[in-house]
Amino acid sequence: MQKNVQTRSSFPWTGSHSLEGLQSLFQGASSTPERLVRPDSFDERGRWHRLVEIDGTQVAFQLDPSGIFCWGSQERMEQRQIQRALDHLFLPLPFPKKAGAHLPEALATRFLRHSPLVHLASASLGEALIKAILRQVISAPQAKKLLHRFIVE
């Protein structure tokens, strides 16, 4: 759907910097049995990819497991526009110790080990609502396949 073929070097506007605290994004990523588009996806090198519309322009985002973030766009992008999108997409959710005080010890330990998890948000209300409707009634694996077909086909 609306696929424009471009290569990294063809982007006139690019940028990169390091992002910290997003390690949990990569937990289990390499073991995913199917590479389904959600519309973000992981490649075989474990890098995370997603296309984001920022003020009407499609911007390619890429994050590698070491925390290096790169973006590329056909239009000029200000750092504040990129940062606004990143602030919305990645929301670190640390697990406070006191939140686990009433949990069985083993479970609290597992939760603390994964902290901080990163909530990966949908880019828009439309995307979030359509995804939630797709998820109604059917199982998570079915929904993932359906979402992939919806985006790719």
Partner 1 sequence: MDYDGITSYGFPSLETIAQLSQESLVACGFGYKARMLPRIAKEIIEMRLEERIQGMPVEMAVELLQHLKGVGRWTARVAMCDLTGEWAIYPFEDLAVRTWASRLWPEYAWPREEGAFLQTWQDINGPSTGIVTCYLLAQATLTSQERLREQPILHSLFE
41 Cβ neighbours under 8 A, 6+ residues apart: 35, 48, 49, 50
Token representation of residue 87: 């602030």
Nearer to partner 1, 86 or 134 (CB): 134
Query: Minimum CB separation from partner 1 for residue 79, in Å?
Result: 19
Q: Does 68 bind partner 1 (CB under 8 A)?
A: no
Q: Does 72 bind partner 1 (CB under 8 A)?
A: yes
Helix (H, G, I), strand (E, B) or coil at 89: helix
Q: Which one of 55, 68, 107, 109 is in contact with partner 1 (CB under 8 A)?
A: 107
Q: Which one of 22, 25, 39, 69 is in contact with partner 1 (CB under 8 A)?
A: 39
> What b/e sequence results for 91-112 when a residue is b if at least 16 CB atoms lie within 10 Å of its CB, and e otherwise?
eeeebeeeebeeeeeeebeeee
* H or E stretch at 112: helix 105-114
Residue numbers 84-103 binding partner 1 by CB under 8 A = 91, 93, 95-96, 98-100, 102-103
- Tally of CA atoms within 13 A in the half-sphere of 114 that contains its CB: 15
Nearer to partner 1, 6 or 79 (CB): 6
Residue numbers 1-20 binding partner 1 by CB under 8 A = 1-8, 11
Stretch binding partner 1 (CB under 8 A), from 15-23, 37-45, 77-85: 37-45
Beta partners for 62? 49, 70
Nearer to partner 1, 76 or 113 (CB): 113
Query: Minimum CB separation from partner 1 for residue 119, in Å?
Result: 4
